């Protein structure tokens, strides 16, 4: 069965690429745009928005009882307009024949691909026209008997396969499971037929970046990466304060590197099988390996705890036990006085001296199984001369869970080798990749 659908996929690829003059693709390149890119925010506002989103996402994702250590007690409105609760990057491509543009938010923490679809019963506002299946010659509803329909836990069958998909932040989409031709790439186009996706006609929640839906890149059977059968993808986030787009590569990035790259194993959490869990064994701040008990990062049998790497969490949240020790180490090792309260909404900030010299900060290393990842200074420190603040860009989850966020992933090419269940981190200048 598996072999058959794989062969069918290859045949489809070959056929569909003939008219476009492309032979077998080994991977597909896409551009990611940060949700706040090009919207005129200052560096401080960008950071405030990231902190705000991280607090909101963590509160929603981790558990309903989480209280972030840095509760945003006073109502804040960083920048202007609403702040989306999660999902930091947008990706554009087309669906259908002729192609209709969609702009979806990237989510490595979920599997379904969906876009808003007419006729809408309830759709939120989006920048692009709604996808209209009746204008596409390649649209098809998916049979209720299909594996994908049955694998969607909320699927219901009334001649078509209907789905209901909910997210941690309360957003949800309801619609028909369908198949379409997806056309990727801005320069060289790559068309892939028969991708299953959600044609969502009743959608609600927090969608304020002009997106038209969500692109699931999780580990489950219905995610884009699983459907493409590539077994790997990678991204490389440019500076969160810059305006350049970041590359997303679907498929292996083996043409970039040779076999000598180090990797750390992926761990599966049966309770949340979409997420990419890592084996974090310790943290070094400055010269000292912190005395964090190994159990602190453990993934428990009941699905709690553990360490997730995520594309949709802006700032790393450490479990409360580890965060307290990291905080203590910074307080101990940074030779500055602690700022009483910070306009960044971060938990730990120091007051910078008026003199302009560069302040020493301790190094920061994540020790993953097989891989020690020393972060560049700009991946964990925020410095603002005008407000005279230097801050640690990490917060506590308030419980036992840990999420590695985007701030800590800047200018690193992160390779997700799903097939071999491992991840690699390669320092890179992402706009030059
Ligand atoms: C798509 O179809 C709708 C009616 O279903 C029609 O009003 C619209 O003009 C069509 N758009 C295109 C680009 O063909
Ligand atoms: C949404 O799109 C409109 C029109 O393209 C644009 O004016 C607006 O700035 C966009 N909003 C966001 C949040 O990107
Ligand atoms: C891998 O690449 C690095 C840098 O490009 C090079 O120094 C090294 O010799 C290569 N190793 C192998 C096994 O090819
Ligand atoms: C899950 O398991 C851990 C470790 O055994 C335990 O400390 C925690 O209370 C459990 N949580 C729930 C919600 O059962
Ligand atoms: C810490 O700062 C004070 C005052 O700025 C300075 O006198 C002292 O030498 C510094 N200590 C270290 C270890 O850098
Ligand atoms: C911190 O702020 C509080 C209230 O704003 C004030 O009473 C206290 O003196 C401040 N402490 C320092 C060290 O600045
Ligand atoms: C994590 O890595 C440590 C050190 O290599 C190892 O002892 C431990 O068994 C690993 N844990 C899991 C869940 O793989």
pLDDT level of residue 253 (50, 70, 90 thresholds): confident
Top-confidence residue, 7 or 173: 173
Neighbours of 411 (CB within 10 A): 21
What is the arithmetic mean of pLDDT over 272-290?
95
Our answer to whether residue 399 is catalytic in this structure is no
How remote is the C-alpha of 261 from its chain's centroid? Answer: 23
With CA atoms as reference, report the closest residue to 226 among 113, 102, 115, 101.
113
Write out pLDDT tens, residues 324-342.
Answer: 999 999 999 999 999 988 8
Query: Is there a contact between 96 and 193 (Cβ–Cβ < 8 Å)?
Result: no
* Res. 216: pLDDT tops 90: yes
260 Cα to the center of ligand 3, angstroms: 7
pLDDT of res. 63: 34
Per DSSP, the three-state class of 90 is strand
Rg (CA), the chain: 22
Our answer to whether residue 31 is catalytic in this structure is no
Write the DSSP string, 111-175: --EEEEBSSPSB----SSPPB-GGG-TT-EEPPTTSHHHHHSTT-EEESEEEEEEE-TTS-EEEE
pLDDT level of residue 7 (50, 70, 90 thresholds): very low
Per cent of the chain over pLDDT 90 is 59
Query: CATH 2.40.70.10: does it fit domain 264-432?
Result: yes
What is the distance between the terminal CA atoms of the chain, rounded to a whole angstrom? 38
List helix spans (H) across 161-306: 224-228
Query: Which of 34-48, 77-91, 403-417 is the most confident on average?
Result: 403-417
- Substitution site in 96, 119, 132, 199 for ligand 1 pocket (most atoms within 8 Å of beta carbon): 132
* Res. 359: pLDDT tops 80: yes
pLDDT of res. 56: 66
- DSSP state for residue 151 in the 8-state scheme: H
Quote the CA–CA distance of 10 and 26 in Å, as a whole number.
Answer: 12
| Neighbouring residues of 136: CB distance < 8 A, sequence distance ≥ 6 | 95, 96, 97, 98, 100, 180
Query: Is there a contact between 100 and 212 (Cβ–Cβ < 8 Å)?
Result: no
List helix spans (H) across 158-296: 224-228
Give the strand pairing for 190-204 and 113-116.
parallel
Write out pLDDT tens, residues 97-152.
Answer: 999 999 999 999 889 999 999 999 999 999 999 999 999 999 999 988 887 788 77
pLDDT of res. 87: 72
Quote the CA–CA distance of 296 and 158 in Å, as a whole number.
Answer: 47
351 Cα to the center of ligand 6, angstroms: 13
What is the rounded average pLDDT for all residues in the chain?
Answer: 84
pLDDT of res. 88: 85
Residue among 36, 86, 107, 169 flagged as catalytic:
107
Write the DSSP string, 4-20: HHHHHHHHHHHHHHTTT
* Res. 67: pLDDT tops 60: no
What is the arithmetic mean of pLDDT over 3-24?
42
What is the arithmetic mean of pLDDT over 313-333?
95
Query: Is there a contact between 97 and 133 (Cβ–Cβ < 8 Å)?
Result: no
Per DSSP, the three-state class of 96 is coil
- Substitution site in 297, 299, 304, 320 for ligand 4 pocket (most atoms within 8 Å of beta carbon): 304
Q: What architecture is domain 2-35+84-229?
A: Beta Barrel (2.40)
Write the DSSP string, 310-355: -SS-SS-EE-HHHHHHHHHHHHHHS-SPBPSS-TT--SEEEEPPSS
pLDDT of res. 69: 27
250 Cα to the center of ligand 3, angstroms: 24
Tokens of 418: 């799903």
pLDDT of res. 126: 93
Q: How far is CA 246 from CA 35, 191, 234, 398, in A?
A: 12, 21, 11, 31
The yes-or-no answer to whether 2-35+84-229 and 264-432 have a common fold is yes
The H or E element containing residue 403 is: strand 402-404
Query: Which residue bears the tokens 């006609």?
Result: 201
Query: Is there a contact between 113 and 224 (Cβ–Cβ < 8 Å)?
Result: yes
What is the arithmetic mean of pLDDT over 186-198?
87
Q: Which ligand has the shortest distance to the CA of 98?
A: 1
Residue among 36, 86, 169, 310 flagged as catalytic:
310
Lowest model confidence (mean pLDDT) among 5-19, 158-172, 340-354, 395-409: 5-19
Task: Tell me the pTM.
Answer: 0.86
Top-confidence residue, 74 or 433: 433
The domain locations on the chain are: 2-35+84-229, 264-432
pLDDT level of residue 187 (50, 70, 90 thresholds): low
Print burial letters for 7-35: b (CB count within 10 Å at least 16), e (below 16): eebeeebeebbeeeebeebebbbbbbbbb
Q: CB-based burial of residue 242 (10 Å sphere; 0-12 exposed, 13-18 middle, 19+ buried)?
A: middle
Going along 167-285, which residue ranges are E strands?
172-184, 190-204, 213-216, 232-236, 246-250, 264-267, 276-278, 280-285
């Amino acid at each position: 069965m598996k072999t058959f659908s794989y062969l069918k996929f290859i045949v489809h690829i070959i056929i569909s690429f003939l008219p476009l003059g492309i032979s077998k693709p080994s991977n597909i390149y896409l551009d990611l745009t940060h949700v706040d890119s090009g919207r005129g925010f200052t560096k401080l506002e960008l950071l405030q928005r990231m902190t705000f989103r991280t607090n909101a996402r963590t509160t929603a994702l981790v558990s309903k009882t989480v209280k972030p250590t840095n509760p945003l007690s006073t109502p804040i409105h960083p920048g202007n307009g609403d702040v989306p609760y999660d999902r930091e990057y947008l990706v554009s491509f087309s669906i259908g024949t002729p192609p209709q543009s969609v702009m979806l938010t990237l989510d490595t923490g979920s599997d379904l691909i969906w876009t808003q679809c007419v006729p809408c019963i309830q759709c939120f506002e989006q920048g692009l026209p709604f996808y209209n299946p009746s204008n596409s010659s390649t649209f098809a509803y998916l049979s209720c008997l299909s594996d994908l329909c049955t694998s969607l836990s909320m699927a219901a069958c009334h001649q078509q396969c209907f789905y209901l998909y909910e997210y941690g932040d309360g957003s949800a989409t309801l619609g028909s499971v369908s198949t379409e031709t997806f056309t990727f790439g801005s320069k060289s186009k790559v068309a892939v037929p028969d991708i299953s996706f959600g044609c969502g006609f009743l959608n609600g929640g927090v969608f304020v970046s002009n997106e038209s839906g969500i692109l699931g890149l999780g580990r489950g059977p219905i995610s884009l990466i699983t459907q493409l059968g590539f077994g790997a993808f990678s991204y490389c986030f440019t500076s969160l304060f810059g305006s350049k787009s970041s590359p997303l590569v679907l498929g292996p990035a083996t043409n970039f590197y040779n076999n000598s790259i180090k990797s750390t194993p992926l761990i599966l959490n049966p309770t949340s099988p979409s997420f990419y869990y890592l084996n974090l064994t310790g943290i070094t701040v400055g010269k000292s390996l912190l005395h964090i008990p190994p159990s602190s990062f453990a993934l428990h049998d009941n699905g709690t705890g553990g360490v997730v790497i995520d594309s949709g969490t802006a700032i790393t949240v450490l479990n409360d036990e580890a965060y307290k020790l990291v905080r203590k180490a910074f307080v101990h090792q940074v030779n500055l006085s602690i700022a009483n309260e910070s306009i960044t909404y971060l938990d730990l900030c120091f007051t910078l001296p008026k003199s302009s010299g560069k302040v020493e900060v301790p190094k920061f290393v994540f020790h993953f199984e097989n891989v020690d990842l020393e972060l560049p200074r700009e991946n964990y420190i925020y410095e603002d001369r005008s407000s005279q603040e230097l801050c640690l860009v990490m917060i506590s989850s308030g419980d036992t869970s840990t999420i590695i966020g985007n701030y800590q992933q800047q200018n690193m090419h992160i390779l997700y080798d799903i097939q071999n269940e491992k991840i690699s981190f390669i320092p890179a200048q992402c706009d030059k990749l």
